[in-house]
Chains A and B, each alone.
Chain A
Amino acid sequence: AQRVTQPEKLLSVFKGAPVELKCNYSYSGSPELFWYVQYSRQRLQLLLRHISRESIKGFTADLNKGETSFHLKKPFAQEEDSAMYYCALSNTGGFKTIFGAGTRLFVKA
Chain B
Amino acid sequence: SAVISQKPSRDICQRGTSLTIQCQVDSQVTMMFWYRQQPGQSLTLIATANQGSEATYESGFVIDKFPISRPNLTFSTLTVSNMSPEDSSIYLCSCMSTANTEAFFGQGTRLTVV
Which A residues fall within an 8 A CB radius of B? Answer: 32, 34, 36, 43-46, 49, 51, 86, 88, 90, 94-102
Contacts and interface: CB of A to CB of B under 8 A. Distances in A.
A43 B42 contact: no
Dominant SS among interface residues on chain B? strand
A43 B102 CA distance: 14
A55 to B, nearest CB: 17
Contact of B43 (A43, A51, A94, A99): A99
A101 B41 CA distance: 6
Interface string B81-114: 0000000000010101010111111111000000
A97 B42 CA distance: 12
Interface in B25-64: 31, 33, 35, 41-43, 45, 48
Given A46-B102, A46-B103, A95 B42 contact: no
A34 B101 CA distance: 10
Given A43-B108, A44-B105, A49-B102, A94 B96 contact: yes
Nearest to B108: A43
B67 to A, nearest CB: 19
A86 B43 contact: yes
B92 to A, nearest CB: 7
A49 B33 CA distance: 20
A91 to B, nearest CB: 9
B105 A96 contact: no
Contacts of B103: 34, 36, 46, 88, 90, 97
A86 B103 CA distance: 13
A99 to B, nearest CB: 4
